[in-house]
A and B are shown apart, each in its own frame.
Chain A
């Protein structure tokens, strides 16, 4: 290859303000004009972004000890249940956690107006959080009840740890049924009334490094308006999904587990959401820089929405019942145009992931790098890619009472 660039060289350029950065949206035109090789020789970094609902998100908190001490056994934050099955005053608040007395879908479709995602947004916004804890009491941790108010800055640690973010591609959800359904993909009107999708497409991190050649464990990223890192591959990571010639998958594929200090993040990019009839979740803003190490990496960044495909899935039957059939594929260019055609029927599309947000994140990360406040990291280890041969598994189905599976 003619271009060979190292992360160290890029960081030197960042240090001296000489780095050349484009967003994944801007670079498409640059490559069209100059070709991959010339673009690769001139551009050091391409920034990506995405701002979508990501249920597999949450935060570890250490809230400190009261006097006398307590080993929290049951705990709520603003009424929302947090997990306390770890050390005495360590907690995990998950994005989809609900208040104990939430009517959920008993009043269908449920509102889910406040959940774990909202607690995280309120924490980051610096609001006072109401903690109520119970314990069984031990010799070392005698207290059985504790109630207090606290703010993010007053506790020891708050670490955003999201087990699965940044899905590489996602389903387009439609409804073939006769009644409106309420899903994590939004409200889906009957008889193919609308199609909802959730990816930033050409701006999305894992569409621009489809085979994970640069993104690895320890990659420094934009997370929730602050700095974060790739911790691991995400849950349900499935790099083995069928791919197009450009390397991008035709189905949901790779995922990332992300980590970062919540205390330096912004509520603007961590937003509590309420999905009617489904539940509460968190909208996470994240952006990954892609170091242009050579022409091959630049070639991957050339993809535009027209080159990316998503499967159309029926959420009235196929999805809930784990049927494998899909209704064909559409491109992100079609999705973003506002209408798609499925089974001869034209329907309006809506995104759950904010393209405007993704664009702003990629632009922000670009500015950080240009200004020298954000440097790139070399991954400590690679993430499993296609050659790992990962097989995506459903839940095992064995009768615990029976003799044979």
Chain B
């Protein structure tokens, strides 16, 4: 069993292909879309969680690559510098999934990576700039 969060980047010429349909129908995967930004004739991004049998997952990845889709693993796309963090909590009300949350009664900030959907709102909401995005991340900044 494999369960993985990935970001798919669609070149403009494949944006109109029914990729999700194939993932479900041909590869038996469960697809949970976390975020999507797809526009006709433009590069698209799709963030999702895929789960299914290991072999199915591997075959699906090969197929996706053949379609010229770029696959980025979601883990560690956003990093939290514990050293920079002053544990104020400004990020916790901005983070939409509570991946950044407050541990009580310690009153310290905690970052739960598996809940992060790389919306990047925290990058600029953190006054101490303790949140960092990897150079090649979901938003391709």
**Is A61 interfacial (CB-CB < 8 Å)?**
no
Interface size on B, residues (CB 8 A): 19
**Is B71 interfacial (CB-CB < 8 Å)?**
no
**Is A356 interfacial (CB-CB < 8 Å)?**
yes
Q: Contact mask A273-287 → B, CB, 8 Å, 1/0? A: 111100001010000
Residue of A nearest to B85 (CB): A354
Q: Contact mask A10-51 → B, CB, 8 Å, 1/0? A: 000000000000000000000000000000000000000001
| Partner of B92 from A52, A336, A348, A357 at Cβ < 8 Å | A348
**Is A359 interfacial (CB-CB < 8 Å)?**
yes
Residues of B contacting A: mostly: loop
CB distance from B5 to the nearest CB of A (A): 25
In the assembled complex, the Cα of A53 lies from the Cα of B107 at a distance in Å of 17
Return chain A residues, CB-CB under 8 Å to B128: 271, 273, 283
**Is A316 interfacial (CB-CB < 8 Å)?**
no
Top 7 closest pairs, chain A to chain B, by CB: A194-B93, A273-B127, A355-B107, A356-B87, A350-B93, A350-B89, A186-B90
Instruction: Name the interface size band of chain A.
Output: 20 to 34
Return chain A residues, CB-CB under 8 Å to B81: none
In the assembled complex, the Cα of A359 lies from the Cα of B68 at a distance in Å of 53
B87 adjacent to A187 (CB under 8 Å): no
Q: Contact mask A328-363 → B, CB, 8 Å, 1/0? A: 000000001110000000001111111111010000
B93 adjacent to A196 (CB under 8 Å): yes
Inter-chain CB contacts under 8 Å: number: 70
**Is A113 interfacial (CB-CB < 8 Å)?**
yes
Known contacts A338-B102, A356-B108: A186-B86 contact under CB 8 Å:
no
A350 adjacent to B86 (CB under 8 Å): no
In the assembled complex, the Cα of A271 lies from the Cα of B86 at a distance in Å of 9
**Is B133 interfacial (CB-CB < 8 Å)?**
no
**Is A111 interfacial (CB-CB < 8 Å)?**
yes
In the assembled complex, the Cα of A276 lies from the Cα of B125 at a distance in Å of 7
Pick the most buried of A189, A196, A350: most chain B CB atoms within 10 A of its CB.
A350
Residue of B nearest to A276 (CB): B124
Q: List 21 A-B contacts (CB under 8 A).
A: A109-B124, A186-B90, A186-B127, A187-B90, A194-B94, A196-B90, A271-B128, A274-B127, A276-B124, A338-B104, A348-B93, A350-B93, A351-B89, A352-B89, A353-B88, A354-B87, A354-B107, A355-B87, A356-B87, A356-B107, A357-B86
